[in-house]
Structure 1
Amino acid sequence: MQVSARNALKGTVKNVVVGSVNTEVTIEVAPGVEVTAIITKSSAENLKLAEGKEVYAVIKSSDVIIAVD
C-alpha cells in the first residue's frame, strides 16, 4: 500500500457498528489506544471490515486543534 498521507496508523479493528447510512469503526492502534472513524456503510462493506482485521487508519489533515474549557 502506498499513500501520500503522512499519518497512517496500523491497527486492528476492535468494533464495527453498522448504521443505515454510515458505519462506526474503532481501531486499536496500540494497547489501550483507539481511533474511531465514521465511514460510509458501502465503504465498510467493500473493505470487508470485521473485528480482528488488520487495517490502517489514514489521517489526512494539516491541523490538529486542541481546546480546553
Structure 2
Amino acid sequence: MKLSARNILDGTITAVEVGQVTTHVKLDIGGATITASITNEAAADLGLKVGEKACAVIKSSDVIIGIA
C-alpha cells in the first residue's frame, strides 16, 4: 500500500466497538492509544479483529494542541 500521507503509525488493534452507525477502533501504537471512528460498513469490509496489526493514517492540514 502506498499513500501520500506522511503520518502513518503502526500498531495493534486493542478494541473494536460497534455502534449503531460507526465503529470505534482502538489501536495501541507502543503504549499510546489512538481511537478512530469509522463506518460500520468500512469496519466489516476490513474484517477488523483485536490483536491484528494495523496502522493509523493521519492526513490533516491542521493539528490543534491545547493545555488546560
TM-score between the two structures when normalised by the length of structure 1: 0.92
String of CA shifts for 1:13-66, please: whole Å, max 9, x gaps: 000100111000000011x21100100000000000010111110001122111
Deviation, 1:67, is 1.4
Gaps of 5+ in 1: none
Residue equivalent to 2:54: 55
In the alignment, structure 2 segments of 5+ residues that lack a partner are none
Q: TM-score w.r.t. structure 2 length?
A: 0.93
Aligned length: 68
Q: Which runs of 4+ in 1 moved over 6 A?
A: none
Percent identity between matched residues is 49
The question of 1:39 aligning with 2:38 is answered yes
